Amino acid sequence: KQEVTQIPAALSVPEGENLVLNCSFTDSAIYNLQWFRQDPGKGLTSLLLIQSSQREQTSGRLNASLDKSSGRSTLYIAASQPGDSATYLCAVPPGGSQGNLIFGKGTKLSVKP
Amino acid sequence: DAGVIQSPRHEVTEMGQEVTLRCKPISGHDYLFWYRQTMMRGLELLIYFNNNVPIDDSGMPEDRFSAKMPNASFSTLKIQPSEPRDSAVYFCASSFSLGSYEQYFGPGTRLTVT
């Protein structure tokens, strides 16, 4: 059964700092991995989708990497800003399936001005 | 496109009442997902549809929960009778396909059962 873990559960950094959020999954037979952002009381916004054949994906100040063999992904945020404060979730389909997403519990990021 | 639309945004009801949540997926998306988010369990899939047909409903917690998708542009999640432990945020998401395509989420319905 696919399980997704995100460490740390919460992170507080000063503005301008580069940071890395971690995601690990137990079944490496995944088709893709998706990173989301959730603001308090809001829905989920898709940030990046990495296909299983890709090693990384970039969007602006965000860079996500994927290492299937080790069951890990990282989300790198460069030059963090207070507006980046949110909960970041990673999600993968069940191993060997292209169906629904299995979510981690998320990392709550706070960027202090 | 307006994105995934959910209604109502907030619902407060008394235990035992019937609750119906509604979702309109993004036009052209063949897959529709219902998720539930709680502090304790995080985000969990309840059910998903492909071309209006339920594919996996193993996440539906009890027979009190039912979901339908009568056409490509509308789905409902019904809870009857509701219980306080059903209090959560319910999200609807849609996707063009599986595997290579992102899932897009609606704003959610915050359900409180007293």
Cα separation, B68 vs B111, in Å, equals 19
Is it the case that residue B109 has pLDDT exceeding 80? yes
| Beta strand B19-24 pairing with A44-51 | unpaired
Q: Which of A34, A42, A51 sits opposite B103 (nearest CB)?
A: A34
At residue B62, the pLDDT reads 87
Q: Where are the alpha helices (DSSP H) in chain B?
A: none
pLDDT digits (tens, 9 = 90+) for B47-95: 999 999 999 898 998 899 999 999 999 999 999 999 999 999 999 999 9
At residue B61, the pLDDT reads 87
At residue A97, the pLDDT reads 66
Task: Report CA-CA distances (Å) from B103 to A7, A35, B34.
Answer: 23, 11, 11
Is it the case that residue A93 has pLDDT exceeding 90? no
Shortest Cα–Cα distance, A89 to chain B (Å): 10
**Is there a contact between B42 and A34 if contact means CB atoms under 8 Å apart?**
no
**Is there a contact between B103 and A101 if contact means CB atoms under 8 Å apart?**
yes
Q: Which of A36, A43, A105 sits opposite B107 (nearest CB)?
A: A43
pLDDT digits (tens, 9 = 90+) for A3-62: 999 999 999 999 999 999 999 999 888 888 999 999 988 889 999 999 888 999 999 999
pLDDT digits (tens, 9 = 90+) for A47-85: 999 988 899 999 999 999 999 999 999 999 999 999 999
At residue A70, the pLDDT reads 94
Cα separation, A5 vs A8, in Å, equals 9
What residues in A contact B93, CB-CB < 8 Å?
44
What DSSP line would sit under A66-101, residue for residue? EETTTTEEEEEE-S--GGG-EEEEEEEPPTT--SS-
What residues in B contact A91, CB-CB < 8 Å?
43
pLDDT digits (tens, 9 = 90+) for B2-54: 899 999 999 999 999 999 999 999 999 999 999 999 999 999 999 999 999 99
Q: What is the arithmetic mean of pLDDT over A80-95?
A: 93
At residue A98, the pLDDT reads 65
CB < 8 Å & 24+ apart, contacts of B81-84: B81/B15, B81/B16, B81/B17, B81/B18, B82/B13, B82/B14, B82/B15, B82/B16, B82/B17, B82/B18, B82/B19, B82/B111, B82/B113, B83/B15, B83/B113, B84/B15, B84/B113, B84/B114
**Nearest one of B29, B25, B17 to B78, comparing CA atoms:** B17
Is it the case that residue B100 has pLDDT exceeding 80? no
